[in-house]
Structure 1
Amino acid sequence: MLHATGPMLTVDVGDRTATETEIDESLETYVGGRALATALAHDRIPFDADPFGPENRAYLSTGPLQQSQMSFTGRMNLTGLSPLTDGLASANAGGYLSRNFVATGISVLELVGESDDLLAIHVTDSGIEFEEVPELEGATVPKTSEYMADTHGLGPDNCVAIGPAGENLVRFASVMTFDSRAFGRGGLGAILGAKNVKCITFDGDQEPPLEIPNPPESEVHREAATSDDRMRSQGTAGGTEFINDSFSLPTRYFEDYEFEHAEDIGGQAVAEKKYKKGACSACAYACKLPTRDEETGVETEGPEFETIYAFGSMQGVGDLVDVMRGNELCDTLGMDTISAGVTVAAYLASEDEFGNAELAQEVTEKIAHREGVGDLLAEGVDRCHDELGVENLTVKGLEFAAHDGRVLHGQGLSYAVANRGADHLYASMLRLEYSGELNPEGTLGKADRLVEAENAAAFLDTGIICVFGRDYVTPERMEVLFDADYEELLEVGAKAVELERHFNNQRGFDREDDQVPYELPDLEEAIDEYYAARGWTDEGVVSELSAEPAVADD
């Protein structure tokens, strides 16, 4: 099976040491990306670790397809013990980092320890440098990129960085690359903040040693370049009006199911603000959304659908420029737009201030700096809802994505059992229910499809292949690319899911955590079906781990 190549580089920021470890057997088993990082995290992070403690580790990893020039592969994976959910979490980001990472010759970077001083870490194919950067304390993500460009000649495409939110341990802080691309969900930016790592750069000249089969690579690139998919002009924003009219667009902190101003903040409105093409490394699909409002000068990348929901309908805000401002604030300060926007919406609900975009933006900035009420909100809805006097609308501490499980019941089931919590991309059951392939009504009889969808999503994050490439990098093409049957690829994804679950079980997660804060038909029976399909106990526990161990602990 095709897999990533190169050693693991372990960087201890406390001791300021770097050690390379050959992990060929682990790469052969886990391929790369999320599965490899999850296996390493499972075996090397203590089960009782504090997410903010030096014993927590972060794994930045690449897959084999980042050694190609194929469309939909300009992405990387980040895994660690989440400060928001208290379980293992992985996030995925695009941009231009992956090829620069591969050029250093490593397959995964392991970050451990805790520094007394704010650090920038520079990784090259000839060594590693630790740089104390007290002048970057409190700097925004773009300011950090500017500093790296001025002092080291390295752009945002060479860098991962945190903003003030990460430094201040906001539990939904993101790690940013290319200034506007986020390893967003789960608060992994706060792990770097706790370790006092402001940014990490990657630069090298290593030639990728892998040979990727050419026909699928060239065919995918050609089809991506010639596609007339609406995604290329409107991004995920293109589904806003359809979802609002046909299903549900959660509105005013879930009080309503549709938003009267959806058209004003939807796909066509976003397309009208788009002023140039945007893409990720080597991708001809170019679905990104560089947008600008000429009247106000507001400029950002996006907003995508999830941000339209979080800073638009959830807050009762119907002006696209205000949504763009929220998007830009999160990118600049380094926060997940979903968790930040939903948490601000919960605050607006508590103050009866829906629609007050100016207040929403003010509070968003306060969160990043933990100022005033922002200090409370920086903990996320799960930890602050009692004090706000609002309902705790999260799963495993993670704020809901836009796709409403109260209407899409298979997606609701997915939210309930997902190791990551209320994340729409953990299985993307929503695709099957929006399309009509599965009836949105009901949860029973969907477990087998859910297991397959989770495994497939986990392998996409392992390969690594963008979720928007699923219609182009088909299972048949994946078999050629990875030189393996599709069922073998799904089994790699299944190992990642099992390892996440087993790790979380050791931290006390079980059936009681596999719930959603609203009624779903036959949910308990559907959860039983899911556990049976996974081979777990009736309490949602992995009783016997089948996945092979990764590299031994230090």
Structure 2
Amino acid sequence: MLHSVGPMRTVDVGERTTRETSIDDLLERVIGGRAAATALAHDRIPFDAEPFGPENRVYLSTGPLQQSRMSFTGRMNMTGLSPLTDGLLSANAGGYLSRNFVGTGLSVLEIVGESDELLAIHVRDDGVTFEAVPELEGATVPETSDYLREQHGLGPEHCVAIGPAGENRVRFAAAMTYDSRAFGRGGLGAVLGAKNVKCVTFEGDVDPPVEIPGAPQTEIHRAAAQSDDQRRRQGTAGSTEFINDHFSLPTRYFAESEFEGASSIGGEAVESKKYEKGACSACAYACKLPTRDEETGLETEGPEFETVYSFGSLQGVDDVVDVMRANELCDSLGMDTISAGVTVAAYLASVDEFGNAALAQELTAKIARREGIGETLAEGLARCHDDLGVADYTVKGMALPAHDGRVLHGQGLSYAVSNRGADHLYASMLSLEYGGELDPQGTVGKAARLVHEENVAALFDTGIICVFGRDYVTEEYLETLFDADYEELLEVGAKTVLLERHFNNQRGFDREDDTLPYEIPDLEAAITAYYEARGLNEDGIVPESPLEVRIDAAD
């Protein structure tokens, strides 16, 4: 089976030491990416660790396909203990970082400990250096990129950085790369902030010996280049009007299901501001959205659909420039746009200020710096909703995305049982329900399909392959690329999901945590069916550890 090649480098930022560990045996079993990082985290992060404590660890990892030039592979994985959900969590980001990471010769970077001063970590193919960067305290993500360019000749494609939100331990702070690509959900940027790590750079010329079949790469690349998919022009924002007209676009903090201003902030509005094509590394699909408002001079990348929802319809804001401005603010300050936007929407609901985009942007900046009411909102919606006097629209502490589980019941079931909380990409039941393959209504009979979709998503995060590649990288291509049967590959995904759940079980997660903030039909029966299909007991607990890792150098 095709897998990543290269050692793990452990960086202790407290001791300023590094060491290299061979993980070949693990990679042969789990491929790389999310699966490798999850297995390592499960073994090496104590089950009783504090998310902001020095014992928490952050893993950056690639899959074997980052050693190709294939479309849909310009991505990396990040894994750690989430300060938002209090469980094990993985996120991935696009851009151009992954090839520079591969150039260091590593398959995994592990960051542990806690520094007594703000650090930049520079990882190269010949070693690691630590740089104290007190001058970057409070710097935005673009300001950090400017420093690295001026002092080290490294662009943002070489870097993972946090903004003020990460330094201030905002529980939904993102880690950013290429200035606008986010390891977004779950607050792993805040974990780096707790470790006093401002940024990590990667540079090297190693060419790992991984043999990837050439024909599928060429065919997939050609199909991506020739696609006329709407997402290539409008990104995910292109679905805004369709979802608003036919399903549900949560509006004014979930009080309504249709937004009268959808067309003003949707796909065509975003496309009208797009001034050039944008892509991730080696990808011919080029779905990114460099946008500019000529009147104000504002430039950003996006917004994508989830930001159109969280800073648009959910806040009652109908001006695409306002949504663009909020998007740029979150990227610059280093925050997940979904959690930030939903939390701000909750505040607007509490003071009856829907549509006040200026206030929303003011609140967003205050959250990143924990100023005034921002101190409360920075804790995340699950921790502050009582103070605001509003309903808690989260699952396991993570704010709900746009795809409404009150209408897409299979997606609602997915939110309930997801190890990551309310994350629409943990298992994309939404695609099946929007597209008509599954009836959106009802949960009965959907559990087995949900297990399959979770396994596929975990496999793609392990490869690593962009979610947009699902339409192009077929089962047959996967078997050829990875030199393995499809069922064998899905088993890697299944073990990854089980490892996440087992870790969370040890932290006290059980059936009581698999719930929703609203009612949908037959939810409890569907959860029971999911447990049976996943091999869990009736309390949602993994009967025994599904995979023993035991890296010899574990400390």
What's the TM-score once normalised by structure 1's chain length? 1.00
Distance 1:231 1:482 in 2: 27
Distance 1:516 1:122 in 2: 42
Report the counterpart of residue 37 of structure 1 in structure 2. 37
Report the counterpart of residue 448 of structure 1 in structure 2. 448
The question of whether the paired residues in 2 share the 8 Å contact of 1:26 and 1:550 is answered with no
The question of whether the paired residues in 2 share the 8 Å contact of 1:60 and 1:79 is answered with yes
Secondary structure of the 1:60 match is strand
Report the counterpart of residue 439 of structure 1 in structure 2. 439
Q: Trace 1:142-541 onto structure 2 (pairs within 5 A).
A: 142-541=142-541
Secondary structure of the 1:59 match is strand
The question of whether the paired residues in 2 share the 8 Å contact of 1:173 and 1:336 is answered with yes
The aligned amino acid for 2:71 is S
Q: Trace 1:41-80 onto structure 2 (pairs within 5 A).
A: 41-80=41-80
Distance 2:142 2:530 in 1: 44
Report the counterpart of residue 109 of structure 1 in structure 2. 109
Distance 1:257 1:40 in 2: 42
The question of whether the paired residues in 2 share the 8 Å contact of 1:61 and 1:108 is answered with yes
Distance 1:546 1:201 in 2: 34
Distance 2:550 2:455 in 1: 19
Compute the displacement of 1:210 (Å): 0.8
What's the TM-score once normalised by structure 2's chain length? 0.99
Over the matched positions of the two proteins, sequence identity in percent amounts to 76
The question of whether the paired residues in 1 share the 8 Å contact of 2:175 and 2:184 is answered with yes
CA deviation vs aligned residue, 1:382-427 (integer Å, no higher than 9, x gap): 0000000000110000000110000000000000000000000000
Distance 2:288 2:164 in 1: 25
Secondary structure of the 2:471 match is coil
Aligned positions, number = 554
CA deviation vs aligned residue, 1:193-235 (integer Å, no higher than 9, x gap): 0000000000001013111100100000111111111110000
Compute the displacement of 1:549 (Å): 1.8
The aligned amino acid for 2:73 is T
Distance 1:279 1:366 in 2: 31
Distance 2:208 2:178 in 1: 22
Secondary structure of the 1:390 match is coil
CA deviation vs aligned residue, 1:515-549 (integer Å, no higher than 9, x gap): 00101100000000000001101000001222232
Distance 1:99 1:550 in 2: 28
The question of whether the paired residues in 2 share the 8 Å contact of 1:420 and 1:426 is answered with yes
The aligned amino acid for 1:386 is D
Compute the displacement of 1:550 (Å): 4.6
Report the counterpart of residue 96 of structure 2 in structure 1. 96
Compute the displacement of 1:112 (Å): 0.1
Report the counterpart of residue 13 of structure 1 in structure 2. 13
Distance 1:500 1:127 in 2: 31
The question of whether the paired residues in 2 share the 8 Å contact of 1:455 and 1:490 is answered with yes
The question of whether the paired residues in 2 share the 8 Å contact of 1:39 and 1:550 is answered with no
The aligned amino acid for 2:220 is V
The aligned amino acid for 1:244 is N
Secondary structure of the 1:25 match is helix
CA RMSD of aligned residues (A): 0.5
Query: Could you list the runs of 5+ residues in structure 2 that have no partner in the other structure?
Result: none
Greater shift in the superposed pair: 538-547 or 149-158: 538-547
Distance 1:523 1:205 in 2: 52
Compute the displacement of 1:240 (Å): 0.3
The aligned amino acid for 1:72 is F
Secondary structure of the 1:470 match is helix
The question of whether the paired residues in 1 share the 8 Å contact of 2:6 and 2:208 is answered with no
The question of whether the paired residues in 1 share the 8 Å contact of 2:117 and 2:132 is answered with yes
CA deviation vs aligned residue, 1:306-331 (integer Å, no higher than 9, x gap): 00000000100000000000000000
Compute the displacement of 1:445 (Å): 0.5
